[in-house]
Structure 1
Amino acid sequence: MSTSEQSAGSTAQHAQHLNPKVVVISVAAAIGGFLFGFDTSVINGAVNALSDEFALGAGLTGFAVSSALIGCAVGAWFAGSLSNRFGRIPVMVIAAILFFISAIGSGLAFGVWDLIVWRVVGGLGVGAASVIAPAYIAEVAPARYRGRLGSLQQLAIVLGIFTALLSNALLANTAGGAAESFWFGVDAWRWMFMIEAIPAAVYGVMALFLPESPRYLIAKNELDKASRVLYDFTGELDVNLKIEQIRRTLEREEKASLRDLVGGRFGLKPIVWIGILLSLFQQLVGINVIFYYSTTLWQSVGFDENQDLLTSTFTSVMNIVATIIAILLVDRVGRRLMLLVGSAGMTVSLGLMALAFSFGEIAPGTDAITLPDPWSTVALISANAFVMFFGTTWGPLVWVLLGEMFPNRIRASALAVAAAAQWAANWAVSATFPSLSTVGLSFAYGLYALFALLSLLFVFLWVPETKDRELEDMEDLQLGRTKKTTT
């Protein structure tokens, strides 16, 4: 039996029971995901009001909505190198500060351009959190429970989306509309942004009390601290063996950098390309169109402002339920099968949405599209089915895979590149949707259905299974397959 097999077997024996402490610190780290979801979705209820407030056209509205995603890509790109240099915890604290500043600045914006600046600042925090939370959770979680703990990131994201949509609905309903005055004579849509300052402050304080990642500590030769974290939180009994195992994977490169990702026939290591394409497909299926523009979408099926805000909130509740289902299944079923099922379901549901909107009609005297019966019902059911298929598979599992699939020495850097690609795709989809919708919603959803179909082929041909594999064994992952190990 090989050394890696022995260490994998030893770790499996040590991780029979889940230490409650590792759940607590994983939940605390995942609050970054909550702010991630809240910050990117809060614009949903404010978009029409701020568009009227600043007299925006379709193009500038799309840019204002998606502007945070520019910051997300930049924040994700630099988060890996910053966390390798200063640690995971300091980057979490920085992200919390950026969230707080963005919330206040966006709520007090006096024009569209300074609003865009504050949204970009918040995006920097979102991008950093999108890298640090899954990396940190993967590095403290036992292999046997890593899928479930890693899925907490997505659960936190969808809870953030739900909270943003719910608070938007409550503020709009209480004030009589998003554009109406509320507390202290400030418009309700401005309060939608400023309320994020509360969870941002909570996240920053909680991050200060988290233990540092044991793999980061070992890389910095702080072995005593790493030992305590591994024993007290991860549940390792043979701490010395685990430290030696981690050190072997880290010492192959003295210092991690983006140069470590280079290799292979296409410029980057195959496993890095897999991470990038997973990130791209997660966004190119158009999931965030549902959350960024759903208020406008539901108006096309006959809902007024109050109804469409509540419908958007209901959709986010379904997303939460879907994520909980994923948490229960991911470590039992495995990553590949769930992604394949999700891709197939998204292809069908998006295809039905495209078909439904092909029967759309222009409302007299307006540019708004309305759907006649039964196609309005088909669109409503298909949109929620799409959310369920995404929420049980591609939503949480991509974050799980990105947190665990890369070898130790390149994890933070590779995750940063993949997350930056994800945010760039998110921005492209969000910014182009208003223009695509002028061509036709049927065309837009048909395009997203095509990407869902391509994601099915991609997973089938190239995505490896990482279920039950130790992080120190990820070096064995190959393009589209894994080495078999004896258990």
Structure 2
Amino acid sequence: MRARSEGGPDDVDRGGATTTSEEYDTGRAVLLAAVAAIGGFLFGFDTAVINGAVEAIRADFAIGAGLTGFTVSSALIGCAAGAWVAGQLAGRFGRVRVMLLASAFFTISAVGSGLAQGPWDLVVWRVVGGLAVGAASVIAPAYIAEISPASIRGRLGSLQQLAIVTGIFLALLSDYFIATAAGGAGEELWLGLEAWRWMFLTEVVPAVAYGVLALQIPESPRFLVARGEHQQARSVLAQVLRSGVDERLREIRRTVAADARSTVADLRGPFLGLLPIVWVGIGLSLFQQFVGINVIFYYSSSLWQQVGFSEADALVQTVITSVTNIAVTVVAIAMIDRVGRRRLLLVGSAGMAVSLAALAVAFATAPLVDGEPALEGAAGPVALVAANLFVVFFGVSWGPAVWVLLGEMFNNRIRAAALGLAAAAQWAGNFLISTTFPALAEVGLGLAYGLYTAFAALSFVFVLRWVPETRGRQLEDME
């Protein structure tokens, strides 16, 4: 199917982005982006699948709360390292080869975790999986940005976030069905293995599929030009573009000729040792985590139980939240190339600040029962609505838009290294928020959500002051 972007070569977006007229094969572009986004699906699946296994692992290995918490969060250590290294490997060996490496690590991690004999070897396998998650978090947005027509790059880039939230949902769903089939996560299911082990082993199927499908897609034209394979790069561009292929190839060749291979040294600049645009990328990554979104996804079930909901109701709310996240991500895909990245982020920051403030007030003013806040009367529904509105505002803005911006905001010379550094910062932020929430919650949930409210408000100022609009601009035009 052919499509043509709206606007001519001189159209200018209000955020400063220029749009160009181009014809492209929408089906082919979506197919290539979708294969790359399978890494995002595994990203979501791998980070969420352990949720259904936590209590069974703790009982089987007879470990305490501290080691249990480290076992759960250990994957995030691998995520940060994988994101950092993947940017360098992608610049040296290509995007597709990094996808294949991530596929292998996902598979190894799934098998190792499912057959783990103790907490420490499970930690090792979880870190291996984290390396794959980190690599996928870098390589998918980079590849999608480099093969996408400028006019639909935002929508294609948003497939990464859609894949992530779908992976989270299906991981939770598969955990539920496996535990139900066995009569409990700690009960034996098939081949003498407990159900929690099969929760990990199910990841082998999408992990292998990722590698097989990655072998079917072409390498990034940007990487091919850097390797001197200009004819092959033109062939790849022609698979997606129906006009302007030679012009796009000339632009890539021009920027590759002017630029050296992306290295850490290229990120150095006058502001605290880094280029300003690199700090913008790091800031986007950290704010995406500091608003506390993963507190909702990692702790929502236990959180709702702590404030008076039954276990069954808490699980239902967790599923509703996950489905809501998928739905609003679809909305974001439809909007991001029309509205622009900055506008979505600004609306999201404002909405998150208001909804988080409502949560903070509800928890801070709730009476304590046995040391825990009890949401009585209207406070319960208010908190529930506020939590889901928070997910809505995040899912329609900061969830997908940050991944899109990280894939396209850096110039070609520094993209791989800068994306790797920003993604590593994101995982470090995730680890920090995830590990500090229990301690903050012990002091008071009002305090925890008050801090997340402050970060949401600061994110609005950050976007307004420093984040550029990239809608409609060719990657070769990024400064």
Alignment check: 8 A CA contact 1:158 1:319 kept: yes
Alignment check: 8 A CA contact 1:44 1:293 kept: no
Report what 2:232 is aligned to: 225
Report what 2:265 is aligned to: 259
Which of 190, 205, 210 is the matching residue for 2:212? 205
**Alignment of 1:246 onto 2:277:** no
Equivalent position amino acid for 2:401 in 1: L
CA deviations 1:287-307 (Å, max 9, x no partner) are 111111222123224444444
Report what 1:133 is aligned to: 140
Aligned residues: CA RMSD:
2.2
Alignment check: 8 A CA contact 2:46 2:203 kept: yes
* Structure 1: gaps of 5 or more residues: 476-487
Matches of 1:135 and 1:343, distance apart in 2 = 25
What displacement does 1:454 show? Answer: 0.9
What displacement does 1:56 show? Answer: 4.2
Cα 1:156–1:303 change in 2 (3 A) is: same
Report what 2:189 is aligned to: 182
Matches of 2:369 and 2:193, distance apart in 1 = 33
**Alignment of 1:12 onto 2:20:** yes
Greater Cα shift, 108-117 or 305-314: 305-314
Alignment check: 8 A CA contact 1:436 1:443 kept: yes
Q: Equivalences for 1:31-430 in 2 at 5 Å?
A: 31-233=38-240, 235-360=241-366, 364=370, 370-430=374-434
Alignment check: 8 A CA contact 1:58 1:435 kept: no
What displacement does 1:421 show? Answer: 0.5
What displacement does 1:368 show? Answer: 6.2
Matches of 1:174 and 1:337, distance apart in 2 = 46
Q: Which secondary structure does the structure 2 equivalent of 1:251 belong to? A: helix
What displacement does 1:195 show? Answer: 1.1
Equivalent position amino acid for 2:460 in 1: L
Report what 2:453 is aligned to: 449
Length-normalised TM-score, structure 1: 0.91
CA deviations 1:178-202 (Å, max 9, x no partner) are 3333333433222222211111111
Matches of 1:180 and 1:358, distance apart in 2 = 40
CA deviations 1:112-161 (Å, max 9, x no partner) are 22211111100000000000000000000000000000000000001001
Matches of 2:374 and 2:255, distance apart in 1 = 57
Greater Cα shift, 107-116 or 370-379: 370-379
CA deviations 1:345-379 (Å, max 9, x no partner) are 11111122222222456665xx7665333322222
Alignment check: 8 A CA contact 2:44 2:165 kept: yes
Matches of 1:22 and 1:402, distance apart in 2 = 19
Alignment check: 8 A CA contact 2:18 2:473 kept: no
Equivalent position amino acid for 1:177 in 2: G
Cα 1:447–1:7 change in 2 (3 A) is: closer
Cα 1:27–1:41 change in 2 (3 A) is: same
Length-normalised TM-score, structure 2: 0.92
Matches of 1:345 and 1:106, distance apart in 2 = 39
Matches of 1:368 and 1:387, distance apart in 2 = 24
Matches of 2:200 and 2:446, distance apart in 1 = 32
Cα 1:353–1:185 change in 2 (3 A) is: farther
Greater Cα shift, 185-194 or 429-438: 185-194
Greater Cα shift, 235-244 or 417-426: 235-244
Cα 1:265–1:385 change in 2 (3 A) is: same
CA deviations 1:463-487 (Å, max 9, x no partner) are 1111111101111xxxxxxxxxxxx
Q: Which secondary structure does the structure 2 equivalent of 1:408 belong to? A: coil
Alignment check: 8 A CA contact 1:236 1:242 kept: no
Equivalent position amino acid for 2:234 in 1: S
Report what 2:3 is aligned to: none
Q: Which secondary structure does the structure 2 equivalent of 1:268 belong to? A: coil
CA deviations 1:260-318 (Å, max 9, x no partner) are 11112321111111001000000111111111122212322444444433332221110
What displacement does 1:43 show? Answer: 2.0
Report what 2:5 is aligned to: none
Alignment check: 8 A CA contact 1:169 1:306 kept: no
Report what 1:482 is aligned to: none
Greater Cα shift, 212-221 or 59-68: 59-68
Equivalent position amino acid for 2:381 in 1: T
What displacement does 1:101 show? Answer: 1.1
Equivalent position amino acid for 1:239 in 2: V
What displacement does 1:219 show? Answer: 0.7
Equivalent position amino acid for 1:85 in 2: R
Matches of 1:208 and 1:419, distance apart in 2 = 25
Q: Percent identity?
A: 60
What displacement does 1:57 show? Answer: 4.0
Equivalent position amino acid for 2:334 in 1: L
Equivalent position amino acid for 1:375 in 2: A
What is the aligned residue count? 467
* Structure 2: gaps of 5 or more residues: 1-8
